[in-house]
Amino acid sequence: MKKQYLLLIVAVILFAGGFFSGVLFSNIEHQKLTNDQSKQTENLSKSTKQPISKKIPEIQESKPKVLIGYVQDFRDPETIDFSSLTHVVYSFAHPTKDGSVLLNGGTEPTNLKKLVKRAHNHNTKVLLAVGGWYHIEGGESYDYFKTAISSETSRTKLINELLAIVDREQLDGIDIDFEHPRSQEDADQLLEFTKQLSNKLHQKKKQLTIAVYSKIHSVAGTEIQSVVFHPEMFTYVDYVNIMAYDGQWDGEYNAANLAPYSFIENIVNYWGALFDTYKLPREKLVLGVPYYAQPEDPSIKQMSFEAIIATNPEFAHQDKAQVNGTTYYYNGIPTIEKKTKLAIDEEFGGMMIWEMGHDAPGDYSLTTAIAKLLENEKLLVGQ
């Protein structure tokens, strides 16, 4: 019996020893693991490698499309509807060869003052176009403009006079309309003029735009080399107004080539590719459309779109009409809408009009047709 008790006591002692040994071993291993983890954490905290900070991607928001309308200086501003326009361009200021500026109406042009007041009431910016095709003193403006920007003295004077008019008339900027630079020298001088004027205007929080020749032959579809622009020039302007019309003068006179859609497709492709090549934003490009009708006989005067449809409202939906025995070519509402859609699809910045005084009122307004499409685009972008 004693032997049995002795064996039982030995078994209990062995079991208890094993249990406490296991607990002790477990505690030792746990402490070792904890120490190892602490060392790893310490090593990590001392690491010289820093996590790469990823740059938050910038979300590029599209600018609202612009609708720029030119208004000639003899127009009564009371007859112009500014409600759909983002910009109106008063045309023209005429440079002299010494850099002075001449305005129709003298130093106190009544129409300009009226236009500024009415436009600003509609939150429409007002720019003054300098140049144009014809000069107020007769003949083409080319020689006057070329001479004015060819020397530092006359160029500086021209810039200062334009800035003085901007301040005096409370304008929102200047539009350059040099028609047209015909050599690399012309292009270089226009670049310098644009650069200097841009710096001065932008310091005043004003805008600078430029009107440019389409550069495309309406028949051949090829680039016209006789007009030269320096691509760097476009970096200094806010908008480039493409005069995508007057194709009737390419080759033999043909009124049908005024501004057909196929011609405009070539123009849009050219300017879009040019801006892509030089990494310039397409949003600067503004597609111009004509509001006038070109007669088959060049000895007969042009007609306004308003005058064309006044003879027959159905002409508003055509691009060709016969009035008083003469056939006229123009852009009706469907073609204007098609061009606007093209500009939107190609990511252009908007549309330009030459010239607001030629538009028809009410339901036949070309400006209203353009504005509706641009507004729809604005709503789609905002969704």
**Domain annotation covers residue 312:** no
Give the model's pLDDT for residue 41: 41
**Domain annotation covers residue 49:** no
Give the model's pLDDT for residue 107: 81
**Domain annotation covers residue 298:** no
Give the model's pLDDT for residue 61: 59
**Domain annotation covers residue 296:** no
Residue partners of 347: CB distance under 8 A and separation at least 6:
272, 282, 283
**Token pair listed for 280:** 């310039």
Give the model's pLDDT for residue 35: 47
C-beta of residue 63 within 8 angstroms of C-beta of residue 100? no
- 3-class SS letters over 151-215: CHHHHHHHHHHHHHHHHHHCCCEEEEEECCCCCHHHHHHHHHHHHHHHHHHHHCCCEEEEEEECC
The whole domain housing 139 covers 66-291+330-382
What whole-number distance in Å separates Cα of residue 81 and Cα of residue 358?
12
Q: What CATH number does residue 267 fall under?
A: 3.20.20.80
Give the model's pLDDT for residue 300: 97
Give the model's pLDDT for residue 258: 98
Give the model's pLDDT for residue 382: 60
Give the rounded percent of residues in the chain with a pLDDT score beyond 70.
83
**Domain annotation covers residue 172:** yes
pLDDT < 70 regions, the chain: 1-62, 380-383
Tens-digit pLDDT profile for residues 137-172: 999 999 999 999 999 999 999 999 999 999 999 999
Give the model's pLDDT for residue 381: 65
**Domain annotation covers residue 358:** yes
- How many domains does one find in the chain? 1
Residue partners of 350: CB distance under 8 A and separation at least 6:
65, 66, 67, 68, 86, 239, 286, 287, 343, 374
What whole-number distance in Å separates Cα of residue 171 and Cα of residue 112?
10
**Angle at CA of residue 155, ends 223 and 280, nearest 5°:** 40
**Domain annotation covers residue 307:** no
**Domain annotation covers residue 92:** yes
